[in-house]
Chains A and B, each alone.
Chain A
Amino acid sequence: MTGRRLGKGGLIDRGRPLSFRFDGREIQGFAGDTLASALVASGVGVVARSFKYHRPRGLWANWAEDPNALFDVALDGVTRPNVHGATTVLEDGMELRSVNAWPSVRRDLKAGLDLFHRFLPAGFYYKAFMWPDWHLFEPSIRRMAGMGRVEPGEPGTPALNRHDRCDLLVVGGGLAGLTAARAAAEAGQDVVLVEDHPVAGGALHGFGGTVDGLTGAEWAAAQIAAIRAAGGRVMCATTATGIYDHRLVTLVTAAPFAQAPRLCRMRADRIVLATGAVDRPLVFDGNDRPGVMSPFAALDLLGRQAVLVGSRIALLHPQPEPVAARLEAAGASVSIHDPAAERLRVKGRKAVTGLCVAGCRHGCDTILAAAGSTPLVNLWCHAGGKLDWVEASFVPGEGPEGLSVIGAARGTSDDDAIREEARQAALGAALPPRGRPASGLLPNPLRGRAWVDLQNDVTTDDIALAARENFTSVEHLKRYTTLGMGTDQGRNSNVNGLALMAQHLGRTVPEVGTTKFRPPYVPVPLELYGGTRTGALNHAPKRLVLEPQHRALDAALGEYGGWLRPAWYARTEHAGRADEAVAREVLRTRQVAGILDASPLGKIEVMGPDAGAFLNFVYYNTMATLEPGRVRYGFMLTERGAVYDDGVLARLGPDHFVVSCSSSHVVGVMQHLEAWRQDGHDPDRIHVHDATQAWATVTVTGPRARDIVSDLGVGVDLRACAFPHMAIREGRFRSAPARVSRVSFTGELSFEISVPLDRARILWSAALAVGAPMGSGPLGMEALSILRAEKGFVIIGQDTTGDTMPHDLGFAGPRDRKTEPYVGDHGLQMEVARDPDRLQLVGLQVLDHAPKLARGAHLVRGAASGRPVSEGYVTSSYDSPTLLRPIALALLARGHTRMGEAVTVWHMGELRTARVVPACAIDPEGGRMNA
């Protein structure tokens, strides 16, 4: 290939030269160039090395279907890997580096791989690295394979997302699409036309000539003006990347290099696809050499970028005349050869020097070769459209409602027929019958190496091998050989690959099948889907009303169950020694009292005449016997019997309850309750309302808790005889309602005081002020976590799995005795629930002065034999400030029957010994809690 820029024509702006570098070499282009066209215009033939064999490759096509021209590109400090050269607009100052090549595409040191191709057939990696361990080979393979290089730490730019709708979406701005969009817009429809090139006109630019007496570019501009004048919208440089259910279409608009593209989610009442067609490669010996190119790409380069790809061109095409005439008019000499000829072979390695036809050599610098045309039906298939096999190509067949295909994508090639189709489609009328598409050629399985998929280096040999090894289903063929798995998504290779397989099997192409096309139509950066949902915008934690007070106490804030909560206090004072801060809070709570912001605790109100029976059904524990003023601990189960949540239920009155579930489960429990209320009960007799965020809760917990709370003035008789453990009282705090309950998660005497949000600050400050002289202080989540683990209280989801049942946690009573139906009841009677080897909650004790166990460490048997088998694992592990030794909770097979037994703890190959003990390590009689 000896490309050169013509002195006139094209859509480029010769007044705006742009300079860029390619593998260090300074090159000039113009505004209107793509990376690829600028390289070809300056005579660059080898643009990349192939993925697997590192063979030199040139440009194959001038748009999205090009499989070869991928670059790592840097501009103004932003680097992007695998930038698609044929679709990326050239900008001044770009630095291009070829992928898969080092030090440059012309002198690639790994090109020797090609000599070993006999040892790298399809399925090579699957076969070679089964033994002894893939990881031995992985590093060197990763260095050799892969595409571009990702710059570590490269920050992405957020992609803007928007939603839109229209009556009619037309995809493709060529002859067909522009005609359809104009007709629809002038008929009063809300029309959107998207065109993926920066300039509309489709194949008109490549084929030249005139439409209605105008050049392609003039005609396209006139149609766009007419569409806009009629109220339609035209979006250029915008690709429809996928069609999803209910006619949602993702439209991706290209942005300047350093910016992310923009995403529009377009909901269209009707869609017309006018996506055109691409050349189908001719499969022959050496057809991957730089200088072998799609004939239409040569025309398109000529029409759009005024680039003539060669001066002596050999043309292999089923309908060669229009192509030859256009290139000859531009100044090339063109020799026409029969694409169906036997024994076609390319001469030349890094550049084409000739074409051998049946042993006869013809000198040339460029070979334009196509076996026919492949309609672009990807979007049609996304939407569920079927394909028909007609004249050796797949064209749209039966399809869903509201979607039609026109023009070359339908297999129509005559201009008048295309315009008639377009006008019918615009009005939603039935399309005229399809004419026969131009015929194409199918490849023969020939000897030698001919390329079927350029990007993934799949040859005719690989397809033959797949057929021999019985990977004959089209999905197996694809995965075994990687055929069609590159960025072109099989646009170039699928039909040829299927045709070869069909011949190996003695079947027809439709019998072999077609692979499914899936979105996206072209590669898009992941940031496109993320949009602006990054960081805190992606996952915003819920904020406490007392957050300013926690910050004033220098709290380290962390996320707990979706809330931003204090992890520990006095962060600066304990900088670098967080464990000391946490230990101090634990000891303060055990010795005096801790003051905890428990506001996220669930507060779901359940009311109504059937509320009691309803709660008795959704709770594992018997709640029917709960008396007003009392609180009961309980589990909610899934129907399989697994523990979903634990919490307490308070009964305020005969028909009024408050479900206090875990902070992190409020949304899920609310849904659980609503599901059973609406579907299984009389919803008119039960009312469920989540009031969690209407109340703030301050918990005072510790031996001096009663002294502190009595000074706060909550209007409740706090004496143990009047207000026992697991009771709730309604009082008043600063002339607002207050709910006080005696529930303990620390094992200490505790009062949970809930007040309306606007009383939270004064309650918190008062509790701290009253407690300070006694030696109490704020309690953070990390210390709370230790306090509850010392007491053997579980956190659902940390100390349980998705299979843990209540009897595994030592709560077997209702399973054995509760007679009324409840959610999960029969799940607890199934064989799996009766398995004697179930994992059960236990405590673990290590030797004094030994370090704590690793959380997640496995409890194993058979460690001495060298093949340890897991019998459970450590779920919580802490250094207990109270006991001055490590404590741990674990799930252990048959754990409840193994008290006192020594078990082996395995962690990352290290073995230790621990003793099985009860989960509760502090005050097992509960004297402190009940005080």
Chain B
Amino acid sequence: MQRFTCPFCGLRDEREFSFAGESGKTRPDTAAEVSDADWSAYLFTGTNPRGRTDEIWVHTPCQEYFRMIRDTVTMEVLETVPLRRDPS
């Protein structure tokens, strides 16, 4: 059971959080032509790196989405920042 730091509420138990996607995924502009391949990649293809990973999580009690940089091997949480701030 991990512990994450919500940028708004502080250090909390893993059970209070949900994964919401990898950072940096941009929704294809569906006002223009979108290929099925691009759409599928947007929906289903993750980089799923070994080691440092940059993700969006949500803290359920406060409903705030934020960015979390963590290590998938050591499970170390390197940084959590609000969505509109850049990680250091």
CA distance A679 to B24 in the complex (A): 11
Name A824-850 residues within 8 Å CB distance of B: 825-827, 830-831
B83 at the interface (CB under 8 A from A): yes
| A826 to B32 Cα, complex, angstroms | 11
Residue among A400, A675, A822, A827 making CB contact with B39, cutoff 8 Å? A827
Q: Does B88 touch A at the CB level, under 8 Å?
A: no
Cα–Cα, bound, A265→B14 (Å): 14
Task: Assess the B30–A246 pair: CB atoms within 8 A.
Answer: no
In the assembled complex, which residues on chain B have CB atoms less than 8 Å from the CB atom of A826?
28, 30, 34, 36, 39
Which residues in window 62-85 of B have CB below 8 A to A? 63-65, 74-75, 83
B50 at the interface (CB under 8 A from A): no
Q: Contacts of A822 on B, CB cut-off 8 Å?
A: 30
A674 touches B1 (CB 8 A): no
| A670-718 at interface with B (beta carbon < 8 Å) | 670-671, 674-675, 678-680
- Is B2 within 8 A of A675, CB to CB? no
**Contacts of B28 on A, CB cut-off 8 Å?**
826
> Which chain A residues lie closer than 8 Å to B2 at the CB level?
245-246
**Given contact pairs A246-B1, A248-B1, A830-B36, A678 touches B65 in the complex (Cβ within 8 A):** yes
Q: How far is the CA of A860 from the CA of B20 in the complex (A)?
A: 40
Give the most central of A246, A820, A827, A831: most B CB within 10 Å.
Answer: A246
Contact A671 B27 (CB under 8 A): no
When C-beta atoms are compared, the residue in chain A nearest to B74 turns out to be A400
Give Cα distance in the complex from A674 to B39, angstroms: 22
- Decide: B1 and A679 in contact? CB cutoff 8 A: no
Q: Which residues of B contact A386 (CB under 8 A)?
A: none
Shortest distance in angstroms between A529's beta carbon and chain B's nearest beta carbon? 12
In the assembled complex, the Cα of A106 lies from the Cα of B40 at a distance in Å of: 65
Name the contact of A831 in the complex, choosing from B3, B36, B58, B83 (C-beta under 8 A). Answer: B36
A782: Cβ under 8 A from any B Cβ: no
A678 near B64 (CB under 8 angstroms)? yes
Find out whether the CB atom of B1 lies under 8 angstroms from the CB atom of A821: no
* B9 interface hit (Cβ, 8 Å): no
CB–CB A830/B39 < 8 A = yes
Which B residues lie within 8 Å of A825 (CB)?
30
- Counting chain A CB atoms within 10 Å of each CB, the highest count among B30, B64, B75 belongs to B30
Residue of B at shortest CB range from A248? B1
Residues of the B chain whose Cβ atoms lie less than 8 Å from the Cβ of A827: 39, 43
Question: In the complex, what distance in Å separates the CA atom of A820 from the CA atom of B28?
Answer: 13
B6 at the interface (CB under 8 A from A): no
A106 to B3, CA, bound (A): 53
Which of B30, B36, B43, B83 contacts A679 (CB under 8 A)? B83
Is A244's CB under 8 angstroms from B56's CB?
no
A680 to B29, CA, bound (A): 12
Chain A hits for B64, CB < 8 A: 678
A244, A265, A640, A821: which has the most chain B beta carbons within 10 Å?
A821
Q: How many chain A residues touch the partner (CB < 8 A)?
A: 26
Q: Mark A637-668, 1 if CB is under 8 A from B, else 0.
A: 00110000000000000000000000000000
A261 to B33 Cα, complex, angstroms: 61
**A680 partner, pick from B27, B34, B42, B58, beta carbons under 8 A:** B27
User: Quick check: A244 and B1 within 8 Å, CB to CB?
Assistant: yes
Instruction: Please tell me which one of the listed residues A248, A639, A671 contacts residue B43 in the complex, with CB atoms under 8 A apart.
Output: A639
Q: Is the CB of B74 within 8 A of A679?
A: no
Whether A679 lies near B56 (C-beta < 8 A) is yes
Residues of A within 8 A of B20 (CB): 675, 679
Find residues 22-55 in chain B having any chain A CB closer than 8 Å to their own CB. 27-31, 34, 36, 39-40, 42-43
**What are the interface flags for A802-823 relative to B under an 8 Å C-beta threshold, 1 for contact and 0 otherwise?**
0000000000000000011110
Output the least CB separation between A383 and chain B (Å): 10
| B29 contacts A821, C-beta separation under 8 Å | yes
The CA of A582 and the CA of B31, in the complex, are separated in Å by 49
> A248 — which chain B residues lie within 8 A by C-beta?
1
Q: How far is the CB of B81 from chain A (nearest CB, A)?
A: 13
Contact yes or no, B65 A675, CB < 8 A: yes
Measured between alpha carbons, how far is A640 from B42 in the docked complex, in Å? 10
Which A residues are CB-close (under 8 A) to B3? 246, 267
Given contacts A246-B1, A246-B3, A679-B65, contact A821 B75 (CB under 8 A): no
Give Cα distance in the complex from A247 to B21, angstroms: 26
A401 to B42, CA, bound (A): 37
**Binary contact track A267-292/B, C-beta < 8 Å → 1, others 0:** 10000000000000000000000000
- For B18, give the chain A residue with the smallest CB separation: A671
Instruction: Please tell me if the beta carbons of A640 and B83 are within 8 angstroms of each other in the complex.
Output: no
Q: How far is the CB of B24 from chain A (nearest CB, A)?
A: 11
Least CB distance from B77 to A in Å reads: 8
**A639 to B65 CA separation, bound complex (whole angstroms):** 19
Decide if B63 touches A640 in the complex (CB within 8 Å).
no
- A674 vs B21: C-alpha distance in the bound complex, in angstroms? 14
User: Once bound together, how far apart are the Cα atoms of A401 and B39, in whole Å?
Assistant: 41
Shortest CB distance A173–B (Å): 25
Note all chain B residues with C-beta closer than 8 A to A821.
29-31
Asked whether B43 lies within 8 Å of A670 as measured between CB atoms, the reply is no
Query: Would you call B30 and A671 a contact (CB within 8 A)?
Result: no
| Cα–Cα distance between A238 and B64 once the two chains are bound (Å) | 39
Residues on the A chain within 8 Å of B14, using CB: 245
In the bound assembly, the distance between CA atoms of A265 and B36 in angstroms comes to 47
Instruction: Pick from B36, B56, B63, B75: contact of A671, CB below 8 A.
Output: B63
The closest CB in chain B to the CB of A679 belongs to B65
Cβ of A639: which chain B residues have Cβ within 8 Å of it? 42-43
Q: Do B74 and A674 touch (CB < 8 A)? A: no
Known contacts A265-B1, A680-B27, A820-B31: A640-B43 contact under CB 8 Å: yes
Closest to A267 in B: B3
CA distance A646 to B3 in the complex (A): 36
Q: How far is B74's CA from A108's CA once the two chains are assembled, in angstroms?
A: 51
Please give me the residue from chain A that is nearest to B29 by CB atom: A821
Contact with B along A287-317 (1 / 0, CB 8 A): 0000000000000000000000000000000
Known: A670-B63, A675-B65, A678-B83. A245 touches B1 (CB 8 A): yes
CA distance A674 to B28 in the complex (A): 20
| A832: nearest chain-B partner, CB-CB | B36
Query: How far is A826 from B75 in the complex, measured between Cα atoms in Å?
Result: 35
Cα–Cα, bound, A820→B34 (Å): 14
In the complex the two chains form, what is the Cα distance from A173 to B79 in whole Å? 37
- Please name all residues of chain A whose beta carbon is closer than 8 Å to the beta carbon of B29 when the two chains form the complex: 821
| A678 CA to B3 CA, complexed, in Å | 23
- Nearest residue, chain A, Cβ from B28: A826
Q: Contacts A671-B58, A821-B30, A825-B30 given; indicate if A245 touches B75 (C-beta within 8 A).
A: yes
Q: Which residues of B contact A671 (CB under 8 A)?
A: 58, 63
Min distance, Cβ B25 to any Cβ of chain A, angstroms: 10
The distance in angstroms between the C-alpha atoms of A639 and B27, with both chains bound, is 10
Task: Find residues 590-630 in chain A having any chain B CB closer than 8 Å to their own CB.
Answer: none
In the complex, the chain A residue whose C-beta lies closest to that of B14 is: A245
A243: min CB distance to chain B, Å: 11
Q: Are A246 and B31 in contact (CB under 8 A)?
A: no
| Nearest neighbor of A684 in chain B, beta-carbon distance | B84
Q: Which residue of chain A lies nearest to B56 when distances are taken between CB atoms in the complex? A: A679
Q: Chain B nearest CB: distance from A239 CB in Å? A: 18
Instruction: Judge whether B63 and A674 touch: CB under 8 Å.
Output: yes
Give complex CA distance A581, B56 in Å.
50
Residue numbers in A under 8 Å from B42 (CB-CB): 639
Closest to A163 in B: B13
Cα–Cα distance between A248 and B3 once the two chains are bound (Å): 10
Query: In whole Å, how far is A833's beta carbon from the nearest beta carbon of chain B?
Result: 10
CB-CB under 8 A from A244, the residues of chain B are: 1
User: Is B39 a contact of A246 with CB atoms below 8 Å?
Assistant: no
- Can you list 15 A-B contacts with CB-CB less than 8 angstroms, sorted by A residue number? A246-B2, A400-B74, A401-B74, A674-B63, A675-B20, A678-B65, A679-B21, A679-B56, A679-B83, A820-B31, A821-B30, A822-B30, A826-B39, A827-B39, A830-B39
Closest 4 A/B residue pairs (Cβ): A821-B30, A245-B2, A678-B65, A248-B1
Interface residues of B (CB under 8 A from A): 1-3, 14, 20-21, 27-31, 34, 36, 39-40, 42-43, 56, 58, 63-65, 74-75, 83
User: A674-B58, A674-B65, A675-B58 provided; 7 other pairs, C-beta below 8 A?
Assistant: A245-B75, A246-B3, A671-B58, A678-B64, A679-B56, A679-B83, A827-B39
